[in-house]
Amino acid sequence: MKKILSGSVIVIVLVSTIIFSACKRYLTSPPVGTLSSSVLANKVGVDGLLIGAYSLLDGYYSGVSLVFASPVSNWTFGGISSDDAIKGSSSNDQFDATTISNHSVDPTNGYLPGKWDVQLYGIQRANDVLRELPLVKDGSVSPAYALQVAGEARFLRGFYELEMAKCWGPFAIYVSDSISYGNNNINVPNGVSILPKIEEDFKAAMNTLPATQQQIGRANKYAAEAFLAKTYMFDHNYAAAKPLLEDLIANGVTSSGAKYALNKHFADNFNPSLKNSPEGVFEVQMSVKDGSSGANGNVEDILNFPLGGPSGCCGFYQPSFSLVNSYKVDANGLPLLDTWNDYDLKSDQGIAADKPFTPTTDAVDPRLDWTVGRRGIPYLDWGIMPGDSWIREQSTAGPYSGMKSVYYQAAAATTSDNFGGWGGGGQGQITANNYKAIRFADVILWAAECEVEVGSLAQAEKYVNMIRARAADPTGFVHTYIDPAKPMAGYTNTPAANYMIGLYTGQIATSTKDFARKAVWFERKLELAMEGHRFFDLQRYDSGPAGGGYMAAVMKAYIAHETNIPGFTNPVQKGATFTAGKNEIFPVPINEIDKSGGILKQAHGY
C-alpha cells in the first residue's frame, strides 16, 4: 500500500490482511474472502480502508498486468497521445502504446482496461470508506474525524472519477457509494457528463477537510478547492472557477501549512529530493528503499528513462520536434505563437554519437533544457547528453529524451530503487519522485485563462508573467559543468545554451481575447510539457472556447510536421490520422461493454 509521508517519517497502516471487495473486479461479483463490516467498524479499520483508497493514486495495482498502462503521470493517455511527445523505441515495442500515440487505438487496446480498472478500484475503495463510517458505533471515531474521513474519501472518489472523465468524456461512469452488488444496481449506464457529480464530491471535500493535515500526503481543503476549480475548467464554468483560484492564490496552503508559492527554480519541481514543496498543491506520494521492492515508487514511469544514463531503459516517452521548437523565442524573449514550428531547431537527428555535433545557438526559453534532454547539453548531473547512444531507435523516436521523471545521480541512493523484472537488471528504475497532480503554476495559469474569458486581459498578463519571471531567473538556468568528466562536481555560472526569456509588456493586456487565449494556452504548453496534461488541455480547448475541430487541427498539423523531417522515418506516426469528433477521447474497453450486457455504450466513432 502506498505510504503517506509525514515529515521525514513514513507512516503506514498495514492493511494487507484486508481484502477489499474492489479487488474482486469492483462491482461485477459478490465479494469473496472479505472481512465483515463489523470487524472493520472501528477507527483502525476505517483508517486502513482510507489508506487503501489513497494507495491507488499512483495508478499502480498488482492486479493490472501492464503496470505502465495506468500511470497517474498520464504519459500514455495525456503525453504520447498529444503533440508533446512520441512513443519511442520501435513501433512494435508495446504496440498498444503505439496505437495510442498515432490515434489508431481501438476498444481492444490492452492499455485501456488498466486505466479504466484502476480508477474504478480506487472509486470502490473510497466508497468502501463511506459505507463503513456509519457502521462505527464503538466511539473510536469522533464526529469531527468522521467528517474529515468522509471528506477525504469524497476527494479521492472525485480524483479517480475526474481521471475517467478526462479519458472517456461522457462515456465514463460515475459510481456512488449507493452502488453495490448487494443493492442489485451495479449496471451503471454511461453517455452523459459526470462532471457535475464530480464537482459535488470536491465541494463536499472542500467544505469538510481541514486546512492542514498531520500527514503530508493527505488532501486538505485547498487541494479539494483546486480540484473543484480544475473540474470547473473542464466544464467551462469560468465564473465558478475564478473565485476559487483567486482564493488559492491568496490563501492556499499545503497540507503541512506552507503557503502556496512557485518554487524558486522551475527544476525544483522535478527533483525527488525537494518534493512536497510549496508549489505542490497536491502531490501523489512516491517512496523507495522502504521494503516494498519499489512498489511504492513511480512504477508506471519505468519505461521513460533514456536508454543510456540513469538506467539503460527504455526511451518510450520521447519529446517531439514540435515541442522542442515551441521553446524558440523572438528578439524580446517571447514565444513565437504562430511561427514556432516554421523550422526545426538544429538537432543531431541521424548523426552518430561518435561524430561531431554542436548544439544550436538559437535563443531558447530556459525551461527547454529542464524538460528535454538534447545532445551537447548537461542532463541533470548525469553528464553531457551524448546523442543517439542514449536513444533507443533514434530513427523511430527522434533525438530527444524526457527528463522530468528522472532522479539525480547524486541522490540515487535514496531516490531510486530496482523492482525486479522491468525495474532490475539495468532495465529502468523506480523513483521516489512525487507526481504533482496539481502544482501552483497550474493554478496561476488556470486563473489567467479565467481572466481572459471574463475580459480582464491585464490581469491575465500579470499571471502569465508570474510564471515567466520565475523561468527568467538566471540562477535557475542549466549551466555548464565545472568538469564535464565529473558531472556531480558542480556547475559554473555559464549558461549551457543561449537562454532568453522575456515578460509580456502589454502584448496580452492590450490584445484581443483570441490572442490572449493563444498566449495563455502556449504558456501552459511550455510550463507543463511532458507532465501528462497536454492532450487533456487540447481536449478542454476544443470543447470550450476554441470550438470543435480545434484539437483535430492542432494534431493534424503536428502529424504533418513530424512525418516530414529529414532523416526521421517516424514509423510510429506514419499514416497517423486524428479524426474530429472521435479521437478527443478514448474508446471504452470492449471487455467492459461486454460485461455490462450492453448497458455501457461505446464512445462515438469507435
- pLDDT digit string (tens) for 193-215? 999 999 999 999 999 999 999 99
10 has a pLDDT exceeding 70: no
Q: What is the CA radius of gyration of the chain?
A: 23
**Mean pLDDT to the nearest integer, 351-361:** 94
Quick one: pLDDT at residue 255? 97
| pLDDT for res 479 | 98
pLDDT at 425: 42
Amino acid type, 566: P
C-alpha cell at 564: 516530414
The per-residue pLDDT for 30 is 41
459, pLDDT greater than 50: yes
What value does the mean pLDDT take over residues 159-181? Answer: 96
Q: 36: pLDDT confidence band, cut at 50, 70 and 90?
A: low
How confident is the model over 73-91, as a mean pLDDT? 92
Q: Return the pLDDT at 371.
A: 98
pLDDT cut 70: percent of the chain above it: 91
Kindly state the average pLDDT of the residues 549-564: 95
Task: Give the Å distances, CA to CA, from 291 to 20, 430, 508, 550.
Answer: 22, 13, 52, 48
pLDDT of residue 37: 65
Q: Which of 7, 18, 8 is nearest to 51 (CA)?
A: 18
Predicted TM-score (pTM) of the model is 0.92
> Could you read off the pLDDT of 398-434 as tens digits, one per residue?
999 999 999 899 988 888 876 555 444 444 578 899 9
Taking Cα atoms as reference points, which of 544, 586, 604 lies closest to residue 81? 586
- pLDDT of 275 reads 94
User: In the numeric block, which cell numbers belong to residue 194?
Assistant: 459526470
Does the pLDDT value for residue 191 go beyond 50? yes
**Residue 525 belongs to domain spanning:** 299-562
Average pLDDT over residues 136-151: 94
Q: Give Cβ neighbours of residue 479 (< 8 Å, ≥ 6 apart).
A: 378, 491, 492, 493, 494, 495, 496
Confidence band (pLDDT; 50, 70, 90) for 19?
very low
Question: Which pLDDT value is given to residue 566?
Answer: 87
CA distances from 32 to 38, 39, 151, 176, 393 (A): 16, 15, 28, 21, 47
pLDDT on residue 181: 82
Cell of 16: 494487507
Of 61-75, 107-121, 131-145, 245-259, the poorest mean pLDDT is in 61-75
- Residue 82 and residue 573: Cα distance in Å, rounded? 12
- pLDDT at position 397 is 86
Check residue 281 and give its pLDDT: 98
pLDDT score at 554:
97
* Residue 493, in any domain of the structure: yes
pLDDT at 14 over 70: no
Terminal alpha carbon distance of the chain: 36
| Cβ contact 371:529 at 8 Å | yes
Contacts of 356 (CB under 8 A, 6+ apart): none
Please report whether residue 522 resides in a domain.
yes
Taking the C-alpha atoms of residue 402 and residue 469, their distance in angstroms, rounded to an integer, is 24
Domain assignment present for residue 488? The answer is yes
The answer to whether residue 136 is domain-embedded is: no
The alpha-helical segments, DSSP class H, found in 169-259 are: 195-208, 221-234, 238-251
Cell match 452488488: residue?
181
77 occurs within a structural domain: no
Kindly report the CATH number assigned to the domain that includes residue 311: 1.25.40.390
Any domain includes 234: no
**pLDDT tens-digit series, residues 497-513:** 999 999 999 999 999 99
Residue 312 has pLDDT above 80, yes or no: no
Q: Is residue 132 part of a domain?
A: no
Predicted confidence (pLDDT) at residue 218 exceeds the cutoff of 90: yes
Mean pLDDT over all residues of the chain? 90
Residue predicted with more confidence, 33 or 277 = 277
Q: Which residue has the higher pLDDT, 31 or 596?
A: 596
Q: How does residue 18 score in pLDDT terms, banded at 50, 70 and 90?
A: very low
Length of the chain, in residues = 606
φ and ψ at 423, to 5 degrees? Answer: -80, -20
Total domains in the fold of the chain: 1
447: in domain: yes
